[in-house]
Amino acid sequence: MGCSTKPQAVVSEYPRIMSLTEGRRKMSKSDPDDMSRINVTDSPNVIRAKIRAAKTSMSLAGDTPEARNLKTIYRAVGGTQEHQRWPAFKAELVDRLVAELGECQ
């Protein structure tokens, strides 16, 4: 299955999105580790698994490259809430990513 419309480049104020497994490398479809990226054709369950497995810091206040990356992705898909714990944050992030990519699945 593919998207019904051709993807368009988006230029925004957000910095480059980094790998879900290594916060210092950019997210790339050429990375051999499929868990490092969100593909537009990933099912909601696959997106959920990838976000759950994404590296984070010990707390949401942590300032690791991986934590900053997930927060950047969250803001890029319209997230604005403050969360106290990673599970709630990641659950909302998954919902937003699935909604954003829904037409491609």
Q: How many domains does the chain have?
A: 1
pLDDT by residue for the chain (105 residues), tens only, comes to 455 566 666 666 767 889 999 888 999 989 999 999 999 889 999 999 999 999 888 888 888 999 999 999 999 999 999 999 999 999 999 999 999 887 555
Instruction: Identify the bridge partners of residue 26 per DSSP, sorted by sequence position.
Output: 18
Q: Is residue 26 part of a domain?
A: no
Range of the domain at 70: 43-104
Residue 9 inside a domain? The answer is: no
Residue 57 region by backbone torsions, left for phi larger than 0, else alpha for psi between -120 and 50, else beta: beta
Tell me whether residue 50 is in a domain.
yes
- Domain assignment present for residue 82? The answer is yes
* pTM as predicted: 0.81
Sign, CA torsion 101/12/79/17: positive
In a domain, 90, yes or no: yes
| 85 occurs within a structural domain | yes
In a domain, 75, yes or no: yes
- Residue 25: both structure tokens together: 């490398």
